[in-house]
A = this chain, B = another copy of it.
Amino acid sequence: MIVVKIGGAVGTDLSNLVEDLQGREDVILVHGGSDEMNRLSEQLGKPPRFVTSPSGHTSRVTDEDTLDILRMTYSGSVNKRLVQMLRSRNMNALGLTGIDGGLLKGRRKEAIRYIEDGRIKILRGDHTGTVEKVNVELLETLLGSGYLPVITIPIEAEDGGALNADADRVAASIAAAVKADELILLTNKPGLLKDVEDPSSLVTSVKKNTIDEAMNIAQGRMKKKILAAQEALHGGVVRVIISNANTDRPLTRALEGEGTHIC
């Protein structure tokens, strides 16, 4: 089994992936939607707000209104368009959020530490969390009946509420839970770059025990991908590949050696 995570921009990269998925029956798809969510947030007069943790991880501040917009974008707009795109190419896709059937149960973050004006501040009451439990039975039921699960956030809190969660880390939780051999994180970069401006500075291989060095190299969203990779490997996934989505056959290329291989 392979878990493939893609961004949410329904464009060329997605149709390349969809082509590349033809005939595969061993895939679970997880997708994001951050850029589209930012656009809708602006349109609705509720500009996105982000905080950066002391360790350099960026996360979206998620209040009730943000959750509404998140549900609309991830689950309504991106998920259904992706499912449509797959289905129109004869793949039996079925979309789910972490809420549906209790697919992804998580823990709410009590407090988020972030840096502002050089000082550490605390954000409370944010609707953000991490996955603690995956309903593997539901996935097995669907896979066993021939469906391709297309999964996105929000995830479900203990109290039944919805939580925002990082989609790369969600994909890692799912990969670990279903004992996937591989987690493929497709992105708009060729992989982990030593210098983000220089595609030739690609780190082709990272060993599990040197992942902290990779984390130090990573910048911006790439940090979350390295964290996701770490969590996936810790959970028993054999190999994590971070690779370019903006190419033909992005999945095949990743499996054949392109991108950053972490194991």
> In the complex, which residue of chain B has the Cβ closest to the Cβ of A87?
B160
Please state the number of chain copies in the assembly: 2
The minimal Cβ–Cβ distance linking A236 to chain B, given in whole angstroms, is 25
A97 to B137, alpha carbons, bound, how many Å? 21
Question: Would A141 and B145 count as touching, CB distance under 8 A?
Answer: yes
Question: Would A101 and B92 count as touching, CB distance under 8 A?
Answer: yes
The prevalent SS among residues of A at the interface is helix
The minimal Cβ–Cβ distance linking A106 to chain B, given in whole angstroms, is 13
> In the complex, which residue of chain B has the Cβ closest to the Cβ of A95?
B100
B-facing mask of A57-91, CB < 8 A → 1, else 0?
00000000000100111111101110110011100
Q: Which of B40, B88, B97, B145 contacts A159 (CB 8 A)?
A: B88
The yes or no answer to A209 lying at the interface (CB within 8 A) is no
Question: Would A77 and B87 count as touching, CB distance under 8 A?
Answer: no
Interface residues in chain A, defined as those with a beta carbon under 8 Å from any beta carbon in chain B: 40, 43-44, 68, 71-77, 79-81, 83-84, 87-89, 92-97, 99-102, 137-138, 141-142, 145, 147, 154, 156, 159-162
Q: Which 5 A-B pairs have the closest CB atoms?
A: A76-B76, A88-B160, A94-B101, A72-B76, A72-B72
